[in-house]
Amino acid sequence: MGEATQEQLNNPLHGVKLLDILEYLVEKFGWEEMGQITGIKAFQYRPTVKSSLRFLRKTDWARTKVEELYLDTIPAPAPKSVVELWEAFIRQNPEYKDKELGEWFNFCDNEKEAKVCAQLTKDGIKQASSTSLWWFKKNHADLPEVGNIYVVTDWYKIAKAIVEVVKVEQVPFNKITEEYADIEGEGDKSLKYWKDTHWAYYTREMEEFDEKPTEDMLIVCEQFKTIFTVDNILKEE
């Protein structure tokens, strides 16, 4: 066999078997939900891996739907700045050497606020994040746990800080306290600011599904501490 072409190397599905894709999606979503997401009715009527593989191999549109769902689900490769920050963190903190690079992300859904929140995190002012439980369920995402370590970036995926989760609890929106709003560290740190900005955010993320936030909806409140920043890299130079 010849070497892979550049086009093949650039294809994220190159070398990935259809069987592996199918088994991954079945484990993550289950047959029924896969059928609902993709519109493939064959997944909703006593499917098996064998019968589904046979169907997908002869049905191009269905295979395309499955491959697109797979690509939307698998984690994206970490940007260079994230990898570099993580490697510097491990060099300076060898006690974490057995930890693998985990999630990396930016806060908020727009450039301006993502930049502000990244800076607040870097400065140790922002020490909490509040994601709706609805989001975790909708995205089939694992709930955070104490000890999780994340890399925080700005809007352009430039790594700014590494944080470690120290507390996780689920709290109804209307039970968030002044103390928690202060810990989250955004705006004037008031409860009113927290409620106004988060209600607007939850509304935006839910509207495309024709859903709306409610006063008693559960919020996954993560408290964290900043344990490393880009400034620590400069100390190595």
The class level of CATH for 80-234 reads alpha beta
**Residues 32, 43: contact at Cβ < 8 Å?**
yes
pTM score of the predicted model: 0.77
Which pLDDT does position 141 carry in this prediction?
85
Candidates 231, 202, 181, 34; CA nearest to 109 is 202
Q: Kindly state the average pLDDT of the residues 76-104.
A: 91
SS3 content of the chain, % helix, strand, coil (to 5): 50, 15, 35
Range 14-73: architecture per CATH: Orthogonal Bundle (1.10)
pLDDT over 60 at 18, yes or no: yes
Average pLDDT, the chain: 91
Residue pLDDT, tens place only, 137-172? 988 888 999 999 999 999 999 999 999 999 999 999
Q: Where in the chain is the domain with CATH 1.10.720.30?
A: 14-73
Residue pLDDT, tens place only, 184-234? 999 999 999 999 999 999 999 999 889 999 999 999 999 999 999 999 987
Going 80 to 119 to 140 to 164, the CA torsion angle's sign is: positive
Tokens of 3: 């070497």
Which pLDDT does position 14 carry in this prediction?
75
pLDDT over 50 at 44, yes or no: yes
- For 219, residues 6+ apart whose C-beta sits below 8 A from its C-beta are 130, 131, 132, 133, 170, 171, 172, 173, 176, 198
pLDDT over 60 at 99, yes or no: yes
pLDDT over 60 at 20, yes or no: yes
Task: Find where tokens 């700005």 sit.
Answer: 154
What DSSP line would sit under 55-107, residue for residue?
Answer: HHHH-HHHHHHHHHHHHHHSPPPPPHHHHHHHHHHHHH-GGGTTPPP--EEES
pLDDT over 50 at 35, yes or no: yes
Residue pLDDT, tens place only, 120-134? 999 999 999 999 999
Candidates 162, 53, 19; CA nearest to 101 is 162
Q: Kindly state the average pLDDT of the residues 45-51.
A: 91
pLDDT over 60 at 8, yes or no: no
Q: Cα(52)–Cα(31) distance, rounded to whole angstroms?
A: 10
Which pLDDT does position 235 carry in this prediction?
64
Taking CA atoms, 109 is separated from 47, 102, 122, 146, in Å, by 38, 21, 19, 25
Candidates 164, 165, 160, 163; CA nearest to 85 is 160
Give, as one character, the DSSP assignment of residue 1: -
Share of the chain above pLDDT 90, in %: 74
Q: Which of 44-48, 114-118, 180-184, 233-237 has the lowest mean pLDDT?
A: 233-237
Which pLDDT does position 3 carry in this prediction?
58
Give, in degrees to the nearest 5, the angle at Cα 117 between 195 and 101: 120
Q: Report CA Rg, the chain.
A: 21
3-state secondary structure of 192: helix
Which pLDDT does position 148 carry in this prediction?
95
**Residues 22, 66: contact at Cβ < 8 Å?**
yes
Q: Where in the chain is the domain with CATH 3.10.400.10?
A: 80-234
**Residues 117, 94: contact at Cβ < 8 Å?**
no
Which pLDDT does position 1 carry in this prediction?
46
Helix 60-73 crosses helix 18-29 at what angle (to 10 degrees)? Answer: 60
